[in-house]
Amino acid sequence: MEGKKVVVVGAGPVGSLAALYASSRGAVVEIYELRDDLRNVDTTPLNFTKSINLALSERGINAIRSTGSAGLLDKILARTIRMYGRMLHLRSSSGALLQQSQAYDVHDRFQRSVDRGELNKVLLDHLDSLPNVKFFFQHKMTGADFRKKKAWFEATDKNSTAPSDRPKEIEVSFDFCIGADGAHSSTRHHMMKFARMDYSQIYIDCLWCEFTMPPTKEGAFAMPPTYLHIWPAGSFMFIALPNLDKTFVCTLFGPVELFTKLENGTDEELISTFDKYFPGVTTFIPPADLVAQFKRNPHLPLINIKCSPHHFGDSVVIVGDAANAMVPFYGQGMNAGLESVRVLFSKLDQTPNRAEALAQYSAERTEDAHVIADLALANYIEMRSSVTSPLYKLRKYIEERLDKYVPSLGWATQYSRVSFSNMRYSEVIKRSKSQKRILTTVLLAVTGTGVVGSVAGVWLLWTRFRHQKMFGLPWSGR
Amino acid sequence: MEGKKVVVVGAGPVGSLAALYASSRGAVVEIYELRDDLRNVDTTPLNFTKSINLALSERGINAIRSTGSAGLLDKILARTIRMYGRMLHLRSSSGALLQQSQAYDVHDRFQRSVDRGELNKVLLDHLDSLPNVKFFFQHKMTGADFRKKKAWFEATDKNSTAPSDRPKEIEVSFDFCIGADGAHSSTRHHMMKFARMDYSQIYIDCLWCEFTMPPTKEGAFAMPPTYLHIWPAGSFMFIALPNLDKTFVCTLFGPVELFTKLENGTDEELISTFDKYFPGVTTFIPPADLVAQFKRNPHLPLINIKCSPHHFGDSVVIVGDAANAMVPFYGQGMNAGLESVRVLFSKLDQTPNRAEALAQYSAERTEDAHVIADLALANYIEMRSSVTSPLYKLRKYIEERLDKYVPSLGWATQYSRVSFSNMRYSEVIKRSKSQKRILTTVLLAVTGTGVVGSVAGVWLLWTRFRHQKMFGLPWSGR
């Protein structure tokens, strides 16, 4: 990529990382971003482009680590808060408040809560220090010809003193274009005129609204900051992630019907709904403030996007939300996006023919992207209701004990493989399905036939494992 | 709609019909079309926008009839050629040419072959005669705000003598916008920024290439013009529809792999493939001409588009390919599009609140659109291979006999309900499924258990029908 002109569309975390990877391979990088430099504006307006607080986990960290940029990862990690598990806020049958913690991982691995803007700023500052990277903020992509390798951008700078009242359009030639311009990607839109792309977008029946939970009067966190707090309410939920400034960023997720009811109801109805389903929240967010935030902050939809392929020829590839926007319930959206960049460049490094590398990348990554998108959808049900079910807890308990005390089995929960490993998502799901089959057999045997059954179950478990070890592991002698 | 400003995007058959419906309700209609007036150009370039010859059937005819425009339907029907059935071109096991005809309908109803351009011209000429309709050809939609009811168009007239080298953009306000701008609809693209639209597009593994089969030296049709000719070859096929000028418009449909092989092969290989699988074709299209046409004419993909909803608020609706592009194998693409216009305006006529009417239309029409899109996909398999299967023929035979000789049963083939009735597509599929269950039971009984079984089958058939009649038909006394 030495000396090649690489155009990156979008200066979010994923686009910034892509620019960093390209620049470290000697490319001449230009980043075009629709919005203003977020470091120049005091507050990001709370709109479609503002995302909830993010969970940074192994895949994202590994992708940043793999840039090899000294000190970069440390700077980012310093801006994160460790969350070791979920804290469920419930009411007991007597009506008393009940808090239950669930560790994410039996090996004490953790998620990191991070502000999207903070993470983005560190990456942008780092890019600023590189001689072969140039930014073009407030530039809107208006067209692209991916055969001729040209794109057009309109400078939308509203403070411009240019005499013309029409925005200026510039033509940009490139060797390679990386579209990291989000769920409503222009790059994808123009790419679809060239690639025969299968594409689907689905709005799930869920809206979200952000709230801020202030610190206590003493300036401390209102709740323990080492958890992702969840108020599961069956068909909807409220969650809270800690921020460096001792606030929590909270989000209400619920079906359109619930939002419509709350929007059309009285303030008292909103407060009583919170008190009924999200016990304790109005202790930390005063009721009047809660109502004001619900009215002021937008109620936004969630979209699930799948497409294939992710590239066209040797000229363009889309990554991150542009290629696979997912619902936020596995905390994997940004992690998957950052990982895409790492996988993309490892293919480009390995295969000199770029068209071939992109085709390989696309085939592998679309498979993984579809898997994590589906898992994220399924996790909404887990977070808002399954987390409280005895069967769910039992399975988690057994799987974690197997992981911890019989490490040679290579057993692990799906959650830990997704969040704390770099295993391909498609491989994670294969292993989980296999584990689930085995565990279901055992659980059925245990619960169904008592002692006899459990002996049989253990035997079955054991023989299956031996089988798995013999055929699945390199050191098994076969 | 009296006095309201209606903007129609797209001047194809569906857009033209929508303009006609709106104008007859007193609207002030403006039609914006990306391309030049097709009546001004000598030949339509054979590209993405040129479609194969079309089959006009009851739904399309009924939609034109329902405009109430005197003489319009007759003018259109005069430009069509009746096709009473399929003519299959096969080779017998001894290698001899074999032609088998299959009537479309037991009541001698027929399809009509029509040139898309000819049909379009009649509609455009008719619109020209209306005082409240105005055309804007060579106008490209560049943006739309469906909350403010404004759209922007660029005049792309290349013969313009305007001094500026930038196309002029005009702002158009409207009360209601109808997007009939095809599978790659701009209206839909901009609507998606306002409506929370579920959307999917899938390219099927099939390309198509057009051929023209010339008349004989004596100036006659090369084959009987009263058929849709099919050369079924299992995973691919060749078809031919008659034209008024005594030519046939032919199309090769096949998987990408076949096209790649033919594109990279020699001329001789192309000819021998045709002779092997499409017996007789090179008698009518001289081999050298066949090769030239295959090289000259584009090899185009087929797309299947589903989306929901088809409208936003009270300001915009999409119809035709813009809302549901389907593969051409049921001959229903244009018919469904024209029917959409009829259904849309019947909802608008019935319900004074336009937002409500559009919501009703969208709910009903998306259901029907998804059904016919799926049927069209399934019919590809029927046309290229099932038509030759004995089971297929047996079922068709039995169903047609039941339809003809026991009309009180209300039995009909799916094909005839789709092509020769105005029953909702979703209702067609319900009835077909019910008939299929009954027929399968009977066929299994007949073939499986001989006489005893067939008696039981007939009994079952009879009781099911009695049941169906009792609950399904208004005159059953319940």
Residue B236 has which token pair? 């691919």
* Percent of chain A with pLDDT strictly greater than 70: 88
* pLDDT tens per residue, range B189-227: 999 999 999 999 999 999 999 999 999 999 999 999 999
How far, in whole angstroms, is CA B181 from its chain's centroid?
15
CB B188, CB B179: distance < 8 Å: yes
Pairwise CB contact (< 8 Å): B198 & A198: no
Tell me the pLDDT band of B460, cut-offs 50, 70 and 90.
Answer: low
Residue B131's pLDDT band, with cuts at 50, 70 and 90, is very high
Backbone angles phi, psi at B111, to 5 degrees: -90, 160
Reported confidence tier of residue B28, pLDDT bands at 50, 70, 90: very high
Using the Cβ of A198 and the Cβ atoms of chain B, whether some distance falls under 8 Å is answered with yes
Candidates A198, A308, A377, partner chain B, best to mutate (most B CBs within 10 A):
A198
- Write out the H or E segment, with its range, that includes residue A284: helix A281-284
Q: Does A299 touch chain B (CB under 8 A)?
A: no
What's A27-63 look like in SS3? CEEEEECCCCCCCCCCCCCCCCCCCCCEEECHHHHHH
Given CB atoms, is B202 within the 8 Å cutoff of chain A? yes
Determine whether the interchain pair B301/A196 forms a contact, defined as Cβ–Cβ distance below 8 Å.
yes
- What mean pLDDT value characterizes chain B? 88
A202 touches chain B (CB under 8 A): yes
Measured in whole angstroms, how far is the alpha carbon of residue B371 from the centre of its chain? Answer: 13
ipTM: 0.79
- The answer as to CATH 3.50.50.60 being correct for domain A5-82+111-198+308-382 is yes
CA nearest A346: which of A364, A327, A368?
Answer: A364
pLDDT (0 to 100) of residue B42: 60
Q: Residue A198 and residue B201: Cβ atoms within 8 Å?
A: yes
pLDDT tens-place string over residues B217-263: 999 999 999 999 999 998 899 999 999 999 999 999 999 999 999 99
- Identify the weakest region by mean pLDDT among A6-20, A175-189, B90-104: B90-104
Minimal Cα–Cα distance from B179 to chain A, Å? Answer: 19
CA–CA separation, A35 and A211 (whole Å): 24
From residue B4, alpha-carbon distances to A19, A172, B23, B29, B317 in Å are 51, 43, 10, 8, 16
Measured between CA atoms, how close is B363 to chain A, in angstroms? 16
Residue, of A453 and B102, whose pLDDT is higher: B102
The pLDDT value recorded for residue A471 is 40
Q: Could you state, in order of their start, the residue ranges of all structural domains in chain A?
A: 5-82+111-198+308-382, 203-300, 389-471
Q: Which of the residue ranges A223-227, A340-344, B63-67, B401-405 would you say has the lowest mean pLDDT?
A: B401-405
**Gap from A227 CA to chain B (nearest CA, Å):** 33
Confidence of residue B383 (pLDDT cuts 50, 70, 90): confident
Amino acid at A315: S
| Helix H or strand E encompassing A56 | strand A54-56
**Is A184 within 8 Å of chain B by CB?**
yes
**Which tens digits make up the pLDDT trace of B327-371?**
999 999 999 999 999 999 999 999 999 999 999 999 999 999 999
Alpha helices (runs of H) in A173-218, residue ranges in sequence order: 186-191
Does A184 contact B202 at a Cβ distance shorter than 8 Å? Answer: no
User: Average pLDDT for residues A215-231, to the nearest whole number?
Assistant: 96
What CA dihedral angle connects A80, A85, A89 and A92, to 10 degrees? -170
- Choose among A198, A201, A202: nearest Cβ to B202: A198
CA–CA dist B115, B86 (Å, integer) = 18
